[in-house]
Structure 1
Amino acid sequence: MDPISATIGFVVGLIGFIASVVQVLDFVDKRREKQLAIERVEKGNPNQPAILNPKSQTPHRIDWGEAVDVSVFYGRAEELDKLTKWIVQERCRLVSLLGMGGIGKTSLSIKLAQQIQDQFGYVIWRSLRNAPPIQEILAELIKFLSNQQQTDLPEDVGDRISLLIDYLRSSKCLLVLDNAESILQPGALAYREGYEAYGELLKRIGGTSHQSCLILTSREKPQEIAASEGETLPVRSLQLTGLKAVDGEEIFHTQGLSGTQAEEVQLIDFYKGHPLALKIISTTIKELFDGNISEFLAQDTVVFGGIRELLDQQFNRLSELEKEVMYWLAINREPIGIAELREDIVSLASQSSLVEALQSLVRRSLIEKITSLFTLQPVVMEYLSDRLIAEVSEGIISGEREFLNRYALMKATAKDYIREAQIRFIIKPLAERLLDLLLNNKKIENKLTQILSTLRENFTHQPGYIGGNILNLLCYLQTDLSNYDFSNLTLWQAYLKGANLQQLKLVNVALERSVFTDILATIFSVAFSPNGKILATGDANGEIRLWQIDDGQQILICKGHTGFVRSVAFSPDGQLLASGSVDKTIKLWKVSDGKCIQTLQGHSDRVESIAYSSDGQLLVSGSVDQSLRIWSVHDGKCLQVLQGHTREVWSVAFSPDSQSVASGSFDQSLRIWSVNDGKCLQVLQGHTDKLRSVAFSPDGKILASGSHDTTVRLWSVSDGQCLQVLHGHTDRVLSVKFSSDSQTIASSSSDQTVRLWSARDGQCYQILQGHTHEIWSVVFSPDGKILASGAYDQTVRLWSVNDGKCLKVFQGYINAVDSVAFSPDGETLASGSFDQKVRLWALSNHQCRKIFNAHTQQVRSVVFSPNGEILASCSNDRTVRLWSVKDGKCLNVLAEHTHKVGSIAFSPNGEIVASGSNDRTVRLWSVSEGKCLKVLQDSTNQVWSVAFSPDGQLFASAGYDQTVRLWSVNDAKCLKVLQGHTGQVGPVAFSPNGQLLASGANDQTVRLWSLNDGKCLKVLQGHTNWIWSVTFSPDGQTLASGGDDQTIRLWSVSDGKCIYTLQGHTNRVWSVAFHPNGQTLASGSGDGTIKLWDVKTGKCFKTLIVERPYENMNITGVTGLTKAQIATLKALGAVEN
């Protein structure tokens, strides 16, 4: 071999060796990165959020979100090539597509993502058009990239971004965020208020090493990109200009225009190749010049000055109806159909005129048609929104009413996320514009009040949106609406949920399509009517409520049960509704008028579940009495009693052919029974904890079960074999349901999530988050498009099954008083309520003298320090707060619990405050420093109650596992476990002499325990439902207890006899407390009242009422509301003369 060849061979070999080494090092580096991610999970690195790496990770997942169809796409070949090179070959981490509105950024981002999708394991496309908060976007991205495994997300945005970047490192992901200009302040090179964290996201994605790419489209370049981009850097920008002549000509040919190539090029030059402008002008040429480009050019056409100038020209040529349609499409902010448009428009000549207007606008490329729905391009939507805001603001200044009456600035009945977008993009900018013009809110209110006066004087009952718009604007401005007068007006689309409207006058008001605060207790059951138009809910107030799905309005309330309604079910023909309750009965109601037509009695304990047979002739029920009963719907007779379970039966279901019934029990078994003879056909075992829910697939082949063991199991009905175990929930599974096509399973859990699973492969493909407590029930709509969920947090949520968005939340106002406590000097009573407030009441005049308003969820307990200077409160928001009683200042927030905090107690010396939580811990805190001193861990027990012994040496806790535990305060060791209750233990209290402990439970008993030996001395029986509160009198001779049976009982401690039963509350009694003098007892109830009782006589001598949101709101003569809605308004304080 000659020297040159040898040298060449050596060089080639060396290059190959170096390449191999680089490959090996790259492989090792990637393996190390992945290992570090795994180690973060295993070691629980506190400075780095854990990244889940599910075993079943799908190698290629795509979620296009709201991406439009780009099958018709013009040009951009060079741009696609350049972007592909940047992202695929040069591995850019952040790429922005910039350009004016309508230039084609969205279409290019979709087409690009489609072309390079095979290079990535994950592809997700999201629009920022409605400016979603960054927490929502991060949650969506993380859940998608984790295959729906990562649900427990950190609250801190920075931690969420860190978690996202971990996923961008461990997998190759393509993220696309479209319409980023929506989160930017126009022309200010800054973010909208509240959206600054998006800048941090861009900065960290662009500046941190990972193997993924984020594509951002925007009309303006964010500062973070401008500061870090470069031709050879991993952050780059592409400024889009107009289409090339050859691509623009393709648009003309598609539109059927005629002209020479030179004329086509001239026209393209006029409009700078702007795709949307070319489409719009093409329709103009076709309509006015018969498609002849030459004739159009012969006119004195102005050179294109921008898309808004063109839109001005086009808009001014439209008919009034066409303009109205454009405005309404901008207001609705998502594709809508003809029916919704027809309902929106105040005065419409005919449906045919609306159809013609829509066809005309589509032809002109001013609106877009997606199947049978219509919408606007983002740039057109923004143009119309700005125009609407300008017209309305000028009208308010001048007193001109037309625009304010013709259009709803916010639709009260819209999907929640749409209404929130209307506030962000219409109401908020309008208020800001008015503030610029009028300088302060008071002047804005004065202008609105002047218009209101004019309406009342001259335009009573005029159809339109002006009244609703004024009320919505006043609410947005947080105006004190007490004594405002809207009488004799029309209030369409007024959104008054959550508003305080005390003293507001609404006499003879038309309230069509308006939304008010509802009353909802804990929701235990939800059910769709067979036609999918009505949703029924069963709640902790013993009520069944019926809601219209399309507008969320409440149409009926069924009252009659005396305890929780645990289950509701529609008959197959939709004429009847059945309900099962803890009052041991089943009731049948007429859906048409809400009347109870039959009460089925026979169970000896709580009825937990009911279900209809497919022909509607039979009803099956499951009970805590361990039995199932099959009933004849016709005459209400019990046909069979099915026995075999050894624990409570929590769920029952008929097979689709009604030949068999399935049941799930706390004995951990699933049973299938023959309906004909009542025999048990199969016993299915496999769950390792209590079984909570069962459901047949509509095709009858599969049975699903949900358990406290956190799993969902799928069983073959034919042979009883377990087909799959679905893992993912992190707490008890409370409800399972199949979709109507048997393809999807929904499950809800105490982990506050709903999961959607593929029945085919058992993969979780969607996690629905939003509830703040355990979710008791889920159900699919008959068409499978909507999922309803009901939860302990007193909300019902409607979800889109397709994309997981929350469409609507039915949220009730509950003014229930959860806790009461007397100050040591006996002059003040403290109360904590479901409305998140802590109140101090002066006992001298029985008035509320102070409100502490900082908790963000239900206040569970309040207690004074021994010296009376500090008040402690705890809440479902996971915090304990310490308040100065003197000035109301919050002294400290104790925030280390990871779940709701249900109970607190001060040590006798006042130096320590203890808190018990559903996170299964008791924490002891230093009152002076606010530091956590000790954590008492009980891995099996949600802690519902805590108490110190009088000498401060012992500490008691109780909760979910039916036991009471005694702890040593000094070393935090558990000294004794008191067992005897057969239900979950709620309250505990030490006697003043420290020798006894009292406990109450859902087994309807109070127990007195000896602290010397831990033995149960007495069982006090008399309550007929759960017991929520127990307390000793100061002299230790009397014990008071209150519970779900709406009564308070006073017991003699010496002999265990009931001295008095105090009646008067109309809802459960949550809390009882003795006055320091022992002569008065206070009780707080779910009925929103605090009652003061004379202990000697058992008589109530004073009732304190928490002010309701509609106190003395006058609704005499209102129209447009159902009887159920009027009843709700009255229950919240409204009055009729």
Structure 2
Amino acid sequence: MELPKQRRRRGVILSHPGFQKLQEARHQAEILENDGARFTLEELSDRTQLAPFTVSKILARVEGVDKQSLNYFFRAFSLELTPSDYVRAGIEEGSRKRENLNTETKKTIKNLVDWGEAVDVSIFFGRIDELSKLKYWIINDRCRLVTLLGMGGMGKTSLSVKLAQQIQEQFEFVVWRSLRNSPPLGELLKNLLQFFASGQPINLSENLQVLISQFMAHLRSHRCLVILDNAESVLDSGEQSGHYQPGYEDYGQLLNQIGETTHQSCVLLTSREKVPEVAALEGENLPVRSWQLTGLSAIAALELVRTKNFFCGSDIDWQNLIQHYAGNPLALKIIATTIQELFNGNSADFFAHGSTVFGSIYDLLNQQFHRLSSLEKDLIYWLAINREAITLAELCADLVLPVSSIKLLEALESLNRRSLIEKKTIPETAVHFTLQPAVMEYVTDQFIQQVCAEILGKPVINSPLFNSHALIKATTKDYLRVVQTKLILQPVIERLLQKLRTKQAIVTRLTQILHTLKQSSPYTEPEPGYTAGNILNLLCHLQIDLTGYDFSYLTIWQAYLQDTPLKKVNFAHTDLSKSVFAKTFSTVISVAFSPDGKTLATGHFDGYFRLWDVAGGQQLIAYQGHVGLIWSIVFSPDGNILVTGGQDEKIKLWNVTTGQCEKTLEDHQSGVVCVIFTRDGNTLISSSHDSSIRLWNLSLGECTQILQGHSSRVWSIAFNLQGDILISGSEDHTIKLWDLATGSCIKTLSGHTDWLKSIAFSSSGILASGSLDRTIRLWDINSGNCIGVLTGHLNGILAIAFVKDGSILASCSIDGTIRLWDITTQKCLKTLQGHTNSIDAIAVNSQGTLIASGADDFSLRLWDVTSGECLRTFKGRNNWVKTIACSPILPSASPQSKMLPMIVSGNEDRTVRLWTAEGECRVLSGHTDLIFAVDFTLDGSTIASGSADQTIRLWDVATNQCTKVLQGHTGMVTGVAFSPNGRLLASSSYDNNSRLWDALTGQLLDTFPVHLGMSVAFSPDGTKLAFGSFNNTVNIWDIATRQCYQTFTGHRNWVWWIAFSPDGRTFATGGSVEGIIRLWNIETGKCLHILQAHRDMLWAIAFNPDGTILASSSSDGTIKLWDIAEGRCIATLEGHNTWVMCIAFSPDGNILIAGGGYAAIKFWDMQTKKCITTLKAEQMYEKMNIFGVTSLTEAQKSNLLTLGAVDILVSR
């Protein structure tokens, strides 16, 4: 049988992109011309001059037509027919089948989308051709790198968002990021890689090449769409286009790899300039292409300006205007406003008046800007400085002189009518105001130009802008201050350098202005303004030594001084409103928001608690609450009482208003680690290191019930929703549920494999638990089943907290990060980074908008839950001497004199200090976090230092140079020790692995499992190694066999400190929080003596050279000397007014050296038991005069005095 012949299809039909383009143009025309009603077949026939039958064939896309018919159809809707708009008949049928297949496949792709700061494009006009072409390039041609080019205000950003919205389902990952604030490439890549990780653990290297490799690997293994807006921000603004800013050349390397390397993703750039890599790699048929965006079509532009709804004039007039401004959307909006304001909306009058070309968009903005009133200019400058949308109240607070709200609103409305500002409505808040991106860039540039002109001009006192506006805002959100510094303060300095040539010339000019300002200011009350604060911020950024500068009787507003030494600076009688100084506080152990979210309470390692104003960032009060650290802090339900639980076994109730202690509860036998209120506020529940839970009647101040059942410390407690069941989490790895009515344990939940540090109960009834096993478990308490395990943290989890409605859980970890988890999907939503050390505590405010975190890096941070941005950082400064070591080589001396030995100290300020016998101090810099441990080699030639930055550094004593950096630990390095022959170096760390290194080559030889290591020691013969840790036991290891040689048990708390006697026969172990020292016989393992050493935390132990005396130091400020043979205290050395954190004997044993708070090191004569000398490094605010300052709280003044400031009356 003869098969029927397949009918040959002739002509062309619309491709899918062509059909989409035509349909969108038709829809736009129907809106503009037909009130949204669809055109009939007859109307389409009249419009296109094609027969109705032909129109039907074209729209049906089944039978072919001639190309000329398609051209007629396209021209009828002001479209240009391109080859991508049609295919030969017969091909498209297969294409549609593939398209249907793709649609089915697409449904199975679960894409992850992050729009970042993308603009709202719900109102969007035109761009049909552009969208069609770009879709075709990205979807059909699989372009790897596409650049969307165009002048400012052309709509590149909106087009990129609209395009991404329409093609997002074709990709697994879609991410939109703005480069407007010029982020360094490493910072951008870390952000993108965290997004790609979808909450899974990811190791983000500091090595840029590794980050680029990780990014490219993801582009190869997944289909990603990455949009980078405002790419011109990383290009140099000089005369030659296409060159990167200094320090941003690595963007070129990345773009080169994206364009040249095979992958399945697309990176879309928007830019005003073509980056050089695109210029070199692009081609019509290549995977790298660029599209020059021109203005809107006449129809789309007309629709845009008609949204203003206020002007008259013929369509021809407006078409002329649209043509005149080349369809630039921003220009059209601004000029439409101008016509409305000056010509009552009549474009004919506008043209008749002779208003012709304004030129570029900058020229147009110039015309608009010069018509603004002084108040309008003030406001628009402040909006540029603030960088993101702010409220009317915030804007009002920035102004030097008060302005009525009515006048402010009138000025803002005027700016809004001119299309210069944008209003943003944020739910449950006041209206916010900001600038359109192109306008913000223009205003920022105008601001910088004017400020520089004022600084360079004369007379300097008449500098209105320099006085009325701040270059940066010290009190703004952290990330915004960084942007202000980068985009305003630094460019001001760069322009001044162009004119004045040298940094010193800038300093001279600024000091001249300062002198003139002081001469003109009155003796009584400083004149308001930002001039002095701006000068101070410029000098700080120039890294000028400010020692001895005189700012007395001036207004210092918005000066950011948290990281700047201000030795001998005179601030007498200054107004320090809105300026930020360093704080003095120790590690934040506990945090809690008040019920109204306005106050934050923090409990600290040194027993102090503090109250902070959340909105203003000011410290309100600071009180010594406990002897030893404050483990837990909580507000009563009415917010009137603050409760603290301390290591001193006490619970204290404080009046929030007066700061007075109203009641002390005592019954626990060890530190109180968690306290919570019942809902009615009448009962307090506490848990302790003594393994018990206690219920307290607050009216009686008595313990009414004790719940016992856990076999170790109970770290956390929480109520169920009904409040009748108490849940507890313990170091014994279990969770227990207690019936409060009977006091009995009704259920025990198991699953964690390490300490259970924190539990939280959500409003939806889910229990979460965080553990040192690096996991968070979710539980159904009714069934007792684990319903989910959240993994992602790289180290143990120390605290968790639910956000408001219970849909999000926040967690913090020893790895220095905070993670936000979606409880429904059990995925990580965001990773918040900024802390440089272990994060001990987090709290979420009742509104669910803020997270507070406290960490071992001596900082307290506030985070925005939605954006994940760090809003404010409070840095604590004490400059404690954390560790000391004495050189084994004693300087030569006459028999009658006692020479001080050379010592090395490790400090909180990230420095290693080498103190010579003559008292000279040499500073060794290189570590990026506080120093926990130091040690000398036996010949005194080399120093090792271990830091919270997770590295060990080796230093040459003779040259003061760092000779090696040992890397490998993933937690802070807490201990270092050289072997007696100097060939080996041992280290302990929070990463649960202690390490043995070759001290000569830096090679890692072996690792030892140690639970949160705190210290390390070699035996005198170098054959044994011991580690102090967060365990109650100590293991001694044989170095040759790498086997555990002996285990010492007996402490009921952590054994942080260890020491071998010089003869190796006696071993000393110190329990940190219990303050007990045990002396052991190494051979028999027998405990020889138990020394009840101190009433507070034990910080260090050391044997004297002949092994007859052991010294111990404590948070109680004392040093005790113990007779080893008899096990008794033979002397107590008092004189330190702070914690004594480290001790060491001189090689001859005649001197004991002790280091403590505020950079002080004391030398004690062992014969007289007297302090013979004190070495002290200068503090950052040493002799800074704050006499008569205003706008500081008493707590803030106390902070400054603690950091070295003085309060002394001086004559002007």
Give the Cα–Cα distance (whole angstroms) in 1 for the partners of residues 1090 and 805 of structure 2. 52
Give the Cα–Cα distance (whole angstroms) in 2 for the partners of residues 419 and 753 of structure 1. 22
Identify the match of residue 628 of structure 1 among 690, 693, 710.
Answer: 693
TM-score (norm 1): 0.93
SS of structure 1 residue aligned to 2:1009 = coil
Give the Cα–Cα distance (whole angstroms) in 2 for the partners of residues 932 and 114 of structure 1. 52
Shift, 1:242, TM fit: 1.4
Give the Cα–Cα distance (whole angstroms) in 1 for the partners of residues 182 and 202 of structure 2. 23
Structure 2 counterpart of 1:179 = 230
Identify the match of residue 1020 of structure 2 among 942, 950, 963.
Answer: 950
Give the Cα–Cα distance (whole angstroms) in 1 for the partners of residues 465 and 870 of structure 2. 31
Identify the match of residue 1090 of structure 1 among 1158, 1161, 1164.
Answer: 1161
Are 2:978 and 1:906 aligned? yes
Give the Cα–Cα distance (whole angstroms) in 2 for the partners of residues 507 and 656 of structure 1. 55
Identify the match of residue 577 of structure 1 among 642, 647, 655.
Answer: 642
Pair 1085,663 (structure 1): closer, same or farther in 2 beyond 3 Å: same
1:732-751 CA distances to partner (integer Å, 9 max, x unpaired)? 22212112222221122223
Give the Cα–Cα distance (whole angstroms) in 2 for the partners of residues 194 and 720 of structure 1. 55
Q: 1:839–1:848: 8 Å Cα contact kept in structure 2? A: no
Residue identity in the other structure for 1:184: L
Structure 2 counterpart of 1:242 = 295
Give the Cα–Cα distance (whole angstroms) in 2 for the partners of residues 7 and 1033 of structure 1. 104
SS of structure 2 residue aligned to 1:176 = strand
Shift, 1:610, TM fit: 0.6
Residue identity in the other structure for 1:252: V
**Alignment map for 1:749-764 (pairs within 5 Å):** 749-764=813-828
Are 2:312 and 1:258 aligned? yes
Give the Cα–Cα distance (whole angstroms) in 2 for the partners of residues 919 and 747 of structure 1. 18
Give the Cα–Cα distance (whole angstroms) in 2 for the partners of residues 231 and 80 of structure 1. 17
Identify the match of residue 773 of structure 2 among 695, 709, 712.
Answer: 709
Identify the match of residue 1045 of structure 2 among 975, 984, 1007.
Answer: 975
Greater mean alpha carbon deviation, residues 648-657 or residues 146-155 = 648-657
Are 2:881 and 1:881 aligned? no
Give the Cα–Cα distance (whole angstroms) in 2 for the partners of residues 926 and 747 of structure 1. 37
SS of structure 1 residue aligned to 2:1144 = strand
Give the Cα–Cα distance (whole angstroms) in 2 for the partners of residues 566 and 824 of structure 1. 39
1:537-594 CA distances to partner (integer Å, 9 max, x unpaired)? 1110111111122232211112231110111111122112111110111111222232
Q: 1:1111–1:1134: 8 Å Cα contact kept in structure 2? A: yes
Structure 2 counterpart of 1:832 = 906
Identify the match of residue 644 of structure 1 among 709, 716, 720.
Answer: 709
Q: 2:885–2:905: 8 Å Cα contact kept in structure 1? A: yes
Pair 686,909 (structure 1): closer, same or farther in 2 beyond 3 Å: closer
Shift, 1:409, TM fit: 0.4
Identity, in percent, stands at: 47
Q: 1:142–1:150: 8 Å Cα contact kept in structure 2? A: no
Identify the match of residue 857 of structure 2 among 771, 793, 807.
Answer: 793
Shift, 1:1086, TM fit: 3.6
Give the Cα–Cα distance (whole angstroms) in 1 for the partners of residues 285 and 947 of structure 2. 53
Q: 1:498–1:517: 8 Å Cα contact kept in structure 2? A: yes
Structure 2 counterpart of 1:532 = 597
Pair 205,492 (structure 1): closer, same or farther in 2 beyond 3 Å: same
Give the Cα–Cα distance (whole angstroms) in 2 for the partners of residues 1047 and 512 of structure 1. 40
**Alignment map for 1:795-944 (pairs within 5 Å):** 795-826=859-890, 827-844=901-918, 847-928=919-1000, 930-932=1001-1003, 934-935=1005-1006, 937-944=1007-1014
Pair 630,974 (structure 1): closer, same or farther in 2 beyond 3 Å: closer
Are 2:1066 and 1:1012 aligned? no
1:891-934 CA distances to partner (integer Å, 9 max, x unpaired)? 22223333322222222233333333333444444444x33151
Identify the match of residue 206 of structure 2 among 147, 155, 174.
Answer: 155
Pair 277,795 (structure 1): closer, same or farther in 2 beyond 3 Å: same
Pair 97,1021 (structure 1): closer, same or farther in 2 beyond 3 Å: same
Greater mean alpha carbon deviation, residues 874-883 or residues 909-918 = 909-918
SS of structure 1 residue aligned to 2:415 = helix
SS of structure 2 residue aligned to 1:191 = coil
Q: 2:912–2:925: 8 Å Cα contact kept in structure 1? A: yes
Shift, 1:980, TM fit: 3.7
Q: 1:526–1:778: 8 Å Cα contact kept in structure 2? A: yes
Structure 1 counterpart of 2:261 = 208
1:7-37 CA distances to partner (integer Å, 9 max, x unpaired)? 99xxxxxx99xx99xx9xx99xx9xxxxxxx
How many residues of Structure 1 are paired with residues of Structure 2 in the alignment?
1093
Identify the match of residue 411 of structure 2 among 336, 354, 357.
Answer: 357
1:1060-1119 CA distances to partner (integer Å, 9 max, x unpaired)? 232333433221100112111111124532122222343333332231110110000111
Residue identity in the other structure for 1:124: V
**Alignment map for 1:27-42 (pairs within 5 Å):** none
Give the Cα–Cα distance (whole angstroms) in 1 for the partners of residues 793 and 968 of structure 2. 23
Identify the match of residue 337 of structure 2 among 283, 292, 317.
Answer: 283
Shift, 1:336, TM fit: 0.9
Give the Cα–Cα distance (whole angstroms) in 2 for the partners of residues 617 and 233 of structure 1. 74
Are 2:687 and 1:615 aligned? no
Are 2:1117 and 1:1046 aligned? yes
SS of structure 1 residue aligned to 2:1100 = strand
Give the Cα–Cα distance (whole angstroms) in 2 for the partners of residues 597 and 198 of structure 1. 60
Q: 1:58–1:147: 8 Å Cα contact kept in structure 2? A: no
Residue identity in the other structure for 1:87: I
Pair 649,925 (structure 1): closer, same or farther in 2 beyond 3 Å: closer
Give the Cα–Cα distance (whole angstroms) in 2 for the partners of residues 463 and 1052 of structure 1. 65
1:733-780 CA distances to partner (integer Å, 9 max, x unpaired)? 221211222222112222322221223343322222222222221111
Structure 1 counterpart of 2:119 = 68
Give the Cα–Cα distance (whole angstroms) in 1 for the partners of residues 1196 and 1107 of structure 2. 47
Residue identity in the other structure for 2:466: L
1:1107-1134 CA distances to partner (integer Å, 9 max, x unpaired)? 1110110000111011111110111011
Give the Cα–Cα distance (whole angstroms) in 2 for the partners of residues 893 and 904 of structure 1. 13
Greater mean alpha carbon deviation, residues 367-376 or residues 1101-1110 = 1101-1110
Identify the match of residue 1118 of structure 1 among 1179, 1189, 1194.
Answer: 1189
Structure 2 counterpart of 1:1024 = 1095
Greater mean alpha carbon deviation, residues 1116-1125 or residues 441-450 = 441-450
Q: 2:995–2:1008: 8 Å Cα contact kept in structure 1? A: no
Q: 1:916–1:945: 8 Å Cα contact kept in structure 2? A: yes
SS of structure 1 residue aligned to 2:1149 = coil
Identify the match of residue 102 of structure 1 among 148, 153, 157.
Answer: 153
Structure 1 counterpart of 2:660 = 595
Give the Cα–Cα distance (whole angstroms) in 2 for the partners of residues 361 and 663 of structure 1. 58
Structure 2 counterpart of 1:466 = 531
Give the Cα–Cα distance (whole angstroms) in 1 for the partners of residues 682 and 693 of structure 2. 17
Structure 1 counterpart of 2:396 = 342
Uncovered stretches (5+) of structure 1, i.e. residues with no partner: 9-14, 31-56
Structure 2 counterpart of 1:54 = none
Are 2:750 and 1:670 aligned? no
Give the Cα–Cα distance (whole angstroms) in 2 for the partners of residues 1035 and 715 of structure 1. 57
Q: 1:934–1:972: 8 Å Cα contact kept in structure 2? A: no
Give the Cα–Cα distance (whole angstroms) in 2 for the partners of residues 793 and 356 of structure 1. 47
Shift, 1:981, TM fit: 3.4
Structure 2 counterpart of 1:376 = 435
Greater mean alpha carbon deviation, residues 334-343 or residues 611-620 = 611-620
Give the Cα–Cα distance (whole angstroms) in 1 for the partners of residues 341 and 1011 of structure 2. 74
Structure 2 counterpart of 1:78 = 129
Are 2:383 and 1:303 aligned? no
1:776-798 CA distances to partner (integer Å, 9 max, x unpaired)? 21111111111111122222221
SS of structure 1 residue aligned to 2:390 = coil
**Alignment map for 1:3-152 (pairs within 5 Å):** 59-152=110-203
Uncovered stretches (5+) of structure 2, i.e. residues with no partner: 9-89, 426-430, 891-900
Residue identity in the other structure for 1:119: Q
Residue identity in the other structure for 2:244: Y
- C-alpha RMSD of matched pairs (Å): 2.5
**Alignment map for 1:697-736 (pairs within 5 Å):** 697-698=762-763, 701-736=765-800
Pair 749,921 (structure 1): closer, same or farther in 2 beyond 3 Å: closer
1:1045-1073 CA distances to partner (integer Å, 9 max, x unpaired)? 43322111212222223233343322110
Q: Which one has a bigger Cα radius of gyration?
A: 2
